[in-house]
Amino acid sequence: MPAHRNPGLAADSIVIRDGEQGTELLLISRGKDPFKGKLAFPGGFVEHGEDPEVACLRELKEETNITGDSVHLIAVAGDPKRDPRGHTVSIIYAVTTKTQALEELKFGDDAAEAQFYPIKDIIKKAEAGDLAFDHGDILINNVIPHLQNQDNLSKISNFALKI
């Protein structure tokens, strides 16, 4: 039987809060190539035998020190050219947290920095192509519509989007 070449699998976190400047999105500054120094969603590769939802929460904790409570699927990104290291499929999850968990923010693992940014500023960066990987496209085409829909349905923790 011929061997199959399978893509890598990653899981990314979307964490939103109401901040001093309106709705804010948690991003990391990548500490390693590819895209060293660029802003990205917290996330990383799913380990062999690991559930992608567990990987999402693990990577969030490793890169930002934030403990997520639950995850909700937003999108799957699988363009074979989205990662210069090779074909990688990423599952993007909205992550809910307790308010006090957001106060524990500090960067670690392969993140050079982790902080919340006003979402309006990040949308501008996304439109200019200034986010790592295809995270700008994911933000505009998947995350923003998802969060707006969530806001229209009900305001669940950390998801009140006011644009």
Residue 95 or 161, more confident: 95
For residue 65, what are its two tokens? 């020190």
Write the DSSP symbol of residue 50. -
Catalytic member of 63, 104, 113, 127: 113
> Which is higher by pLDDT, 105 or 153?
105
113 is catalytic: yes
Written as six digits, the tokens of 118 are 């006003």
User: What's the pLDDT at 118?
Assistant: 96
- Dig out the tokens for 132 from the structure: 């790592």
Check residues 54 and 106 and name the one with the higher pLDDT. Answer: 54
Tell me if 146 sits within 8 A of 94, measured CB to CB. yes
Q: What is the mean pLDDT of residues 95-99?
A: 86
What is the arithmetic mean of pLDDT over 67-78?
95
Domains defined for the chain, CATH in brackets:
8-153 (3.90.79.10)
pLDDT at 112: 85
Residue 61: partners with Cβ closer than 8 Å, 6 or more residues away = 67, 68
Q: What is the pTM of this model?
A: 0.87
For 20, half-sphere exposure in the C-beta direction (CA atoms, 13 angstrom radius) is: 1
